[in-house]
Chains A and B, each alone.
Chain A
Amino acid sequence: MSVTQILANIAAMVIVLFARLVTAVRAVWDGVEPIRSKRVYFANHTSNGDFILIWTVLPSNMRHETRPVAAADYWLASKLRIFIGREVFNAVLIDRNPETREKDPVGQMASALDEGSSLILFPEGTRNTGDQALLPFKSGMYHLATQRPDVDIVPVWIENLNRVMPKGEFFPIPLICTVRFGEPMRLKDGEGKDDFLSRSRTALLALKDDGELV
């Protein structure tokens, strides 16, 4: 094992421990089991910590093969971010700008799936800082579903993390968060883009309604 890998493993442990200390995060598997299986998890995006929270509640054998899809401009902006994004999270980095990008993001995601990884997507495309529960979805997830129709697509609702660390604040406050995994879905035969995106959006929002601590 290389020094970088050892450092990455230590960093991963520290991040998971910190996430648990601050959020006491609880996973609710509501219609899907925490078992190794090739999946695309898609979640609401309110905070930079969203991916970390999902990653924390995954069993460790699943954690290592579950890669976040993240913005290259953010994760390549400093040495620390490059280390965390590449070595710790093994993120699939995509260029958000269609004009400058050299690789097709959907192709990048599809080849990550082909290599045996699962993915974590934030189909809103950006952090939601407004009053709306969920922004409209970008179309990438639909294109991924048409290219890899045999992969389970799992909605994941993250509750409360926007309160732990609102945008623009520098330190988190400790509050309990819940990560709720819903029933897997797939693209139906002949289902169009808008239908698929609105169906997946509804499935994600449905997890919010009983997202309280019970």
Chain B
Amino acid sequence: MNAPIEFSFLIGGVFCVLIFASGVAFILKRRLGSGNANPVIDNLIARINAWWAMATLLTIAMLFGRAGAVTLFALLSFAAMREFLTLTAKSRADHYVLATAFFFVLPFQYYLVWIDWYGLYSIFIPVYAFLFLPIIAAFRGETENFLTRVSETQWGLMICVFAASHVPALLSLQIPGFEGKSILLIAFLVVVVQGSDVLQYVFGKLFGRHKIAPKLSPSKTWEGFIGGVVSASLLGACLFWMTPFAFWQAFLVSFVIAIMGFFGGLVMSAIKRDKGVKDWGHLIAGHGGFIDRLDSVVFSAPIFFHIVRYFWSTV
């Protein structure tokens, strides 16, 4: 448990923001008066309360360093994949495929991240799971919807396990002058991408007029998107002191993270529409399911990982 000092500053900042948010929500609720229920305010309060829980959980996990981060994201992958595969096409014949995905592929991917085997964890799911799971499916001889079933299962693994595992994989990057601080890369990514989600929500609620993709996600507006992405990029730039980046580099990296996060939300919304649901799950009050909260993270994490690896890392 030896987190760098910058981590304490960041966490202090995050909790100050949460105290402020809870204060604002409290005043909004009071101004409304008791007796008048407003679903938007109630949802806002539920969301903020869930943020308290999520921020606390993340902080605790980070304090345990590498073990904490790998364990936390393995569990998040499990919860996310449980939601994803609930909605995908499957038949009774897929029992072994799904069991292999949950009980072998998922833990093995995180084991590879844990032992730092970049050469294998970056291809294990896209190559080995991709080829071998359909083989297991074929053995059962059920051909109905075969391609749909194997594709949707693979998609679930790519999104919920492969992409998500790139968050703890950030810890394996060796950056000169940044030794022992790589946990800050995770903190930076999470704060920027979740900050971008929150800021898009805030800008959208305050100024949102023009819908960006009415068919996919009625709550996303141009005003929310631009305001959120620009302010999140500035937020990331202002956090440059805890990263290996210069101010302008932190701005550009945050910009990419925020944009990818936005598109992640859009793609995952499209899947929800396709499957006819509003939320992925119900376990995070006010937010929906785990994937509703992780969609932006999983889309930005691999890109962030490769940007840092290519430009800053020595391995």
Which residues of chain A come closer than 8 Å to B123, judged between CB atoms?
A: none
- A residues 148-190 with Cβ under 8 Å of B? 160, 163, 166, 169, 171, 173-176
Shortest CB-to-CB span from A69 to chain B, Å, is 27
- CA A169 to CA B99, docked complex, whole Å: 11
Option from A26, A175, A214 in Cβ contact (under 8 Å) with B82: A175
Interface string of B86-114 (1 = CB under 8 A from A): 11001010010011001000000000000
Which residues of chain B come closer than 8 Å to A173, judged between CB atoms?
A: 85, 95, 98-99, 102
Contacts A163-B90, A176-B83: A171 and B277 contacting too (C-beta < 8 A)?
Answer: no
Which residues of chain B come closer than 8 Å to A166, judged between CB atoms?
A: 92, 95
Which residue of B is nearest A176, CB measured? Answer: B86
Shortest CB-to-CB span from A172 to chain B, Å, is 9
Q: Does B282 lie at the interface of the complex (its beta carbon under 8 Å from any beta carbon of A)? A: yes
Which residues of chain B come closer than 8 Å to A212, judged between CB atoms?
A: 276-277
Q: Does A35 lie at the interface of the complex (its beta carbon under 8 Å from any beta carbon of B)? A: no
Q: Does B115 lie at the interface of the complex (its beta carbon under 8 Å from any beta carbon of A)? A: no
Shortest CB-to-CB span from A168 to chain B, Å, is 9
* B interface residue count range (under 10 / 10 to 19 / 20 to 34 / 35 or more): 20 to 34
- CA A93 to CA B7, docked complex, whole Å: 59
Q: Does B279 lie at the interface of the complex (its beta carbon under 8 Å from any beta carbon of A)? A: yes
Option from A26, A160, A163, A175 in Cβ contact (under 8 Å) with B282: A26
Interface string of B138-164 (1 = CB under 8 A from A): 000000000000000000000000000
Which residues of chain B come closer than 8 Å to A213, judged between CB atoms?
A: 86-87, 277, 279-282
Which residues of chain A come closer than 8 Å to B98, judged between CB atoms?
A: 173
- CA A171 to CA B82, docked complex, whole Å: 15
Which residue of A is nearest B282, CB measured? Answer: A26
Option from A24, A26, A214 in Cβ contact (under 8 Å) with B277: A214
- CA A214 to CA B279, docked complex, whole Å: 6
A174 near B78: Cβ-Cβ < 8 Å:
yes
- CA A112 to CA B271, docked complex, whole Å: 48
User: B99, B278, B283 — which one has the most chain A CB atoms within 10 A of its CB?
Assistant: B99
What are 25 A-B pairs at a CB distance below 8 A?
A24-B79, A24-B281, A24-B282, A26-B282, A160-B86, A166-B95, A171-B99, A173-B95, A173-B98, A173-B102, A174-B78, A174-B81, A174-B82, A174-B85, A175-B85, A175-B86, A176-B82, A176-B281, A212-B276, A213-B87, A213-B279, A213-B280, A214-B277, A214-B278, A214-B279
Q: Which are the 3 A-B pairs with shortest beta-carbon distances?
A: A176-B86, A174-B82, A173-B98
A24-B82, A174-B102, A213-B86 given; 14 more Cβ-contact pairs under 8 Å? A24-B282, A24-B283, A166-B95, A171-B99, A173-B85, A173-B99, A173-B102, A174-B82, A175-B86, A176-B82, A176-B86, A212-B276, A213-B280, A214-B278
